[in-house]
């Protein structure tokens, strides 16, 4: 055939496919499938661990929320839970300790500045 001034050969266009060993091709396909299944298994394990850690966190938060609800109900009845008292006294003690250390540091600075 002559098309556009060029002689066209009959048959397929492009390179002839190299004769690929069918057994090698099948083995590569099997290996690829094994690797794909292994990746899928790892991905599912990771997701299951992620879900279980999130579920544990949710349970801990629910317990904490329930504790706060109990405290609020007790405070609505005019009772101050011992945990809150401990927190308040702990904060007051912490503030007192901070103030005393600040005063001690200030005293040292004044003592050092007054001595030549």
Mean pLDDT of the chain: 80
pLDDT digits (tens, 9 = 90+) for 40-94: 999 999 999 999 999 999 999 999 999 999 999 999 998 888 888 888 888 776 6
Enumerate the H helices of 1-116 as residue ranges.
22-76, 82-114
Is the confidence at residue 116, as pLDDT, over 50? no
Please state whether 5 falls in left (phi above 0), alpha (psi between -120 and 50) or beta.
Answer: left
Question: DSSP state, 2?
Answer: E
State which H helix or E strand residue 6 sits in: strand 6-7
* β-sheet bridge partners, residue 2: 7
In this prediction, residue 83 carries a pLDDT of 86
Length of the chain (residues): 116
| Segment among 14-23, 42-51, 101-110 with least mean pLDDT | 101-110
Place of tokens 């003690």: 93
């Amino acid at each position: 055939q002559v098309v556009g001034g060029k002689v066209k050969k009959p048959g397929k266009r492009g390179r002839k496919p190299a004769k690929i060993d069918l057994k090698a091709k099948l083995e590569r396909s099997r290996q690829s499938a094994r690797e794909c299944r292994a990746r899928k298994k790892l991905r599912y394990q990771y997701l299951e661990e992620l879900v279980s850690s999130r579920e544990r966190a949710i349970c801990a938060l629910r317990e904490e929320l329930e504790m706060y609800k109990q405290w609020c109900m007790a405070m609505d009845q005019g009772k101050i839970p011992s945990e809150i008292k401990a927190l308040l006294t702990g904060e007051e003690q912490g503030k007192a300790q901070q103030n005393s250390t600040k005063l001690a540091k200030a005293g040292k600075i004044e003592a050092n500045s007054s001595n030549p």
